[in-house]
Amino acid sequence: MSGAGAPGGGHIPVFLYHAVMEDPPAWIAEFTVTPKEFAAHLDAIVDSGMTPVTISALAGHLAGRAPLPPRPVLLTFDDGFADLPGPTAEALAERGLPATAYLTTGAIAPGGRSLLPPAPMMTLDAVAGLERAGMEIGSHTVTHAQLDTLSGADLARELRESKEVLEDALGHPVRHLAYPHGYNSAKVRASSARAGYETATAVRHALSSDRDERYRIARLIVRRAHTVTDVEAWLAGGGVRVAPYRDGPKTVAWRWYRRGRAVLRGPEFAG
Ligand SMILES: [Zn+2]
């Protein structure tokens, strides 16, 4: 395992947040932090002296186009909960922290449908303002499907339609994707590239690095039980593995179990 400062393997924490609120619906509570905890995490990032960047900066580095600033760190937000364009964007802006938001278009567009259970969500008409506030926008598919269980046609539609909806709202190309639940496969990664995405983030519960894989960038899910001490450990490059690395047998077994279940039951929320 290479840690912080290893030659060519500098660790990059990519934090994955969902909702930041006091009273989340039960299904997302495990992945929700309170505004007070969130503010403490952001202060820890500022105090670490690391350089927050958006996914485009990491993409530029992984494609060999542009160097990364020293000690980069990424803040990412999945799904598009209602707090994002409000207090969450304000807390980031107050500290001058850029971030990346991956939006599930079926959950935020008028008349849209997704597999996400009910929750207070932001709306599509707030997307352009979110970008102006300093947040880079990426796709998190249309319905939040487990992409590695879909047919080729359904997979292509999830990747294409979410991209188009966001591009119409923003007036420019959207080049970055986050896989719902982090689930991906060789087929999903190839389809993402074909659909015009330049990077895709997964989950993996690991630190990313300056030599991570472009179509499965490792992220760390921030859970309700995590503390500022956990955040500080991750910033320092401790506590978890550094990607890239090969999937272990448990990850592989769970993947095949989910794919078999999807054939029997059809699409469902896997949270
Ligand atoms: Zn999600």
Are 13 and 241 within 8 A, CB to CB?
no
Say how many Å lie between the CA of residue 106 and the centre of ligand 1.
Answer: 12
Question: Which residue type sits at 117?
Answer: P
Cα 232 to middle of ligand 1, angstroms: 24
Residue 136, token pair as written in the block = 């880079």
Give the distance (Å) from ligand 1 centre to CA of residue 76.
Answer: 11
Q: Does 6 score more than 70 pLDDT? A: no
Query: Which CATH code is given to the segment(s) 11-265?
Result: 3.20.20.370
Alpha carbon of 108 to ligand 1 centroid (Å): 13
Q: 191-221, pLDDT tens digit by residue?
A: 999 999 999 999 988 999 999 999 999 999 9
Compute, in angstroms, the gap from residue 144 CA to the centroid of ligand 1: 6
Residue 52 and residue 14 in contact, taking contact as beta carbons nearer than 8 Å: no
The string of pLDDT tens digits covering residues 23-47 is: 999 999 999 999 999 999 999 999 9
Q: In whole angstroms, what is the distance from residue 19 CA to residue 153 CA?
A: 31
Ligand 1 mean position, distance from CA 130 (Å): 18
- The reported pTM is 0.92
CA of 271 to the centre of ligand 1 (A): 9
Q: Helix, strand, coil % (nearest 5) of the chain?
A: 40, 20, 40
Q: How far is CA 259 from CA 180, 186, 218, 251, in A?
A: 14, 14, 21, 12
Query: Sorting pLDDT into bands at 50, 70 and 90, what band is 271?
Result: low
22 Cα: distance to centroid of ligand 1 (angstroms): 19
Helices 228-235 and 35-48: angle between axes, nearest 10 degrees? 30
Domain spans, the chain: 11-265
From residue 41, give the alpha-carbon distance in Å to each of 97, 108, 199, 231, 243. 12, 27, 26, 7, 23
Q: Tens digit of pLDDT for each residue in 59-115? A: 999 999 999 999 999 999 999 999 999 999 999 999 999 999 999 999 999 999 999
140 CA to middle of ligand 1, Å? Answer: 7
Ligand 1 centroid – CA 162 distance (Å): 13
Q: How many A from CA of 79 to the centre of ligand 1?
A: 5
pLDDT of residue 245: 84
